[in-house]
């Protein structure tokens, strides 16, 4: 994108934000002058009135609660729902992901929820927040959630703590007022704070589940739940792994993340214009030290799906419901056989060292991501093996092709042993496709 186009884009975003902020202020002023009249009219027309938590918490009958949670009882069983309703869960971060986590935990009957966040609802929050409306813009995110959740499940306890979580206040915010958490949910988007929370809970043996980065992601089929040690294609999770490893934490933290591959055609982090850098240190532009100042391109549906995946993981885990997330494609036998096929080929080629620089994880990556699960020669997806492509090049992910067993034998006979050029053995479209796959692999490998 040309520099002047980027500058115009960012300036346009800032101008739009200023205008919409003014409109929201006018909306609030108008709304304040009409609150009494509107409330009176709404009450007179409504046949039923939702109970308010302050006056009806103890009056909401168990019969009504069970009716509201009937589908959950049918799914998770009586015993499972008993455990769900006894949960005391802390959600740190009440934005696009955290708001959906808190909302679905409340809708599912979790008895006590504590929400911690320092931020306010903005107009740009409305594309992904679970419950916020225009009337909530300018209010704290935790108060917004507390108010809306009271209208959904007035019998549960919702603590709203409008503060920034950090190590200095960790004990107070998580354990204060006698709150003994059974689970903590990390929905923080700042690296340092996120790592501190994960390390704090890991050291204290508090069950925690973490959210990876939903920004710039768009493929719902790539959302995974896996241990932090097995996350992939998530730059945020990668950084977390590195920092946690230095603190002695390498596994034991489940993470919801997207394994969607980066693509030059897809959304990226919007750059800051040159004039912002000219103003001084970029860090000084943020509202809080070390917090991001750039605009994150976010498709509003993705944080919601991350949040729903986290809530589902917690509910099924505490209820004892049999749910075992598939890590990747979960075809480890297939990938292991692919590696063995490549090692066997080394022997047929007279190479004494049959160990190959391609792991089971590499085989997964080559089959599923680079070659899309099929041979580029015949486009078949059965009886697949791996084969060296160019005998003159070093063996590795950039010189290995997925093909059928029959194609492997022919390739060995004519190219690897016979010395024929691939251009004379295969049609031009096959060679072009293989070269394209290698080009894709070169790009993908930058993010592995």
Instruction: Look at strands 112-116 and 223-227 and give their pairing.
Output: unpaired
In a domain, 292, yes or no: no
Q: Are residues 243 and 384 in the same domain?
A: no
The pLDDT score that the predictor gives to residue 38 is 32
Q: Are residues 245 and 354 in the same domain?
A: no
What are 208's strand-pairing partners? 184
Tell me the pTM: 0.63
Is the pLDDT confidence value at 253 over 80? yes
In a domain, 293, yes or no: no
The pLDDT score that the predictor gives to residue 260 is 84
Q: Are residues 313 and 383 in the same domain?
A: no
In this predicted structure, which of 60-69, 139-148, 344-353, 424-433 has the lowest mean pLDDT?
344-353
Q: What is the mean pLDDT of the chain?
A: 83
Q: Are residues 181 and 151 in the same domain?
A: yes
Is the pLDDT confidence value at 170 over 90? yes
Among 319, 350, 383, give the residue marking a domain's end. Answer: 319
What would you report as the CA-atom Rg of the chain, rounded to the nearest whole angstrom? 27
The pLDDT score that the predictor gives to residue 80 is 97
In a domain, 201, yes or no: yes
Select from 94, 92, 115 the least CA-distant residue to 209: 92
In a domain, 197, yes or no: yes
| 283 vs 103: which has the higher pLDDT | 103
Q: Are residues 216 and 312 in the same domain?
A: yes
In a domain, 228, yes or no: yes
Instruction: Say what percent of the chain tops pLDDT 90.
Output: 63
Q: Are residues 109 and 146 in the same domain?
A: yes
In this predicted structure, which of 75-84, 159-168, 276-285 has the lowest mean pLDDT?
276-285
pLDDT tens, position by position, 76-132: 999 999 999 999 999 999 999 999 999 999 999 999 999 999 999 999 999 999 999
Q: Are residues 91 and 211 in the same domain?
A: yes
Q: Are residues 257 and 347 in the same domain?
A: no
CB 298 within 8 A of CB 128: yes
Mark out the alpha helices in 226-300 (DSSP H runs).
235-246, 274-278
CB 95 within 8 A of CB 118: no
Q: Are residues 349 and 218 in the same domain?
A: no
In a domain, 392, yes or no: yes
Q: Are residues 315 and 336 in the same domain?
A: no
To which residue do tokens 């015993």 refer? 79
Q: What is the DSSP letter of 401?
A: E
The boundaries of the domain holding residue 363 are 332-447
Q: Are residues 102 and 210 in the same domain?
A: yes
Among 257, 289, 319, give the residue marking a domain's end. Answer: 319
In this predicted structure, which of 1-5, 80-84, 336-340 has the lowest mean pLDDT?
1-5
The residue-averaged pLDDT of 336-345 equals 94
Number of domains comprising the chain:
2
Encode burial over 23-62: b for 16+ CB neighbours within 10 A, e otherwise.
ebeeeeeeeeeeeeeeeeeeeeeeeeeebebeeeeeebee
pLDDT tens, position by position, 127-137: 999 999 999 99
Of the chain, the end-to-end C-alpha distance in Å amounts to 25
The pLDDT score that the predictor gives to residue 43 is 33
CATH number assigned to the domain comprising residue 107: 3.40.50.720
pLDDT tens, position by position, 391-446: 999 999 999 999 999 999 999 999 999 999 999 999 999 999 999 999 999 998 88
In a domain, 438, yes or no: yes
CB 367 within 8 A of CB 402: yes
Q: Are residues 311 and 362 in the same domain?
A: no
Q: What is the DSSP letter of 140?
A: B
Max Cα distance, the chain (Å):
89
In a domain, 14, yes or no: no
């Amino acid at each position: 994108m040309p520099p002047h186009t980027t500058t115009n884009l960012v300036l346009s975003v800032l101008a739009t934000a200023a205008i919409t902020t003014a409109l929201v202020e006018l909306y609030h002023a108008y709304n304040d002058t009409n609150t009494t009249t509107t409330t009176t009219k709404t009450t007179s027309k409504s046949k039923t009135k939702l109970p308010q938590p302050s006056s009806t918490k103890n009056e909401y009958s168990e019969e009504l609660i069970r009716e509201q949670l009937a589908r959950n009882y049918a799914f998770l069983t009586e015993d499972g729902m008993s455990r769900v309703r006894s949960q005391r869960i802390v959600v740190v971060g009440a934005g696009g992901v955290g708001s959906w986590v808190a909302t679905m935990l409340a809708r599912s009957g979790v008895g006590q929820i504590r929400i911690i966040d320092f931020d306010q609802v903005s107009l740009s929050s409305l594309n992904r927040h679970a419950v916020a409306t225009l009337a909530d813009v300018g209010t704290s995110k935790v108060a917004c959630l507390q108010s809306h959740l009271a209208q959904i499940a007035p019998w549960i306890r919702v603590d709203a703590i409008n503060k920034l979580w950090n190590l200095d206040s960790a004990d107070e915010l998580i354990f204060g007022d006698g709150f003994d958490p059974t689970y903590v949910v990390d929905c923080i988007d700042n690296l340092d704070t996120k790592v501190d929370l994960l390390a704090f809970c890991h050291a204290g043996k508090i069950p925690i589940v973490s959210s990876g980065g939903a920004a710039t992601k768009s493929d719902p089929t790539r959302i995974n739940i896996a241990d932090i040690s097995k996350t992939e294609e998530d730059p945020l999770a990668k950084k977390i792994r590195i920092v946690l490893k230095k603190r002695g934490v390498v596994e034991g933290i489940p993470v919801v993340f997207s394994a969607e591959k980066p693509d030059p055609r897809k959304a990226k982090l919007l750059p800051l214009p040159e004039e912002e850098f000219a103003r001084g240190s970029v860090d000084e532009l943020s509202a809080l030290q070390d917090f991001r100042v750039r605009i994150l391109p976010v498709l509003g549906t993705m944080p919601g799906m991350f949040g729903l995946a986290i809530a589902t993981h917690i509910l099924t885990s505490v209820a004892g419901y049999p749910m075992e997330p598939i890590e990747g494609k979960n075809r480890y036998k297939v990938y292991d056989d692919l590696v063995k096929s490549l090692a066997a080929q080394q022997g047929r080629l007279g190479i004494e060292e049959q160990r190959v620089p391609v792991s089971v994880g590499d085989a997964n990556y080559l089959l599923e991501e680079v070659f899309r699960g099929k041979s580029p020669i015949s486009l078949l997806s059965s009886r697949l093996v791996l084969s060296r492509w160019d005998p003159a090049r070093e063996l590795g992910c950039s010189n290995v092709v997925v093909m059928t067993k029959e194609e492997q034998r022919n390739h060995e006979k004519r190219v690897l042993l016979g010395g024929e050029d691939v251009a004379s053995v295969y049609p031009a479209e096959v060679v072009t496709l293989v070269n394209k796959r290698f080009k894709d692999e070169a790009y993908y490998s930058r993010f592995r």
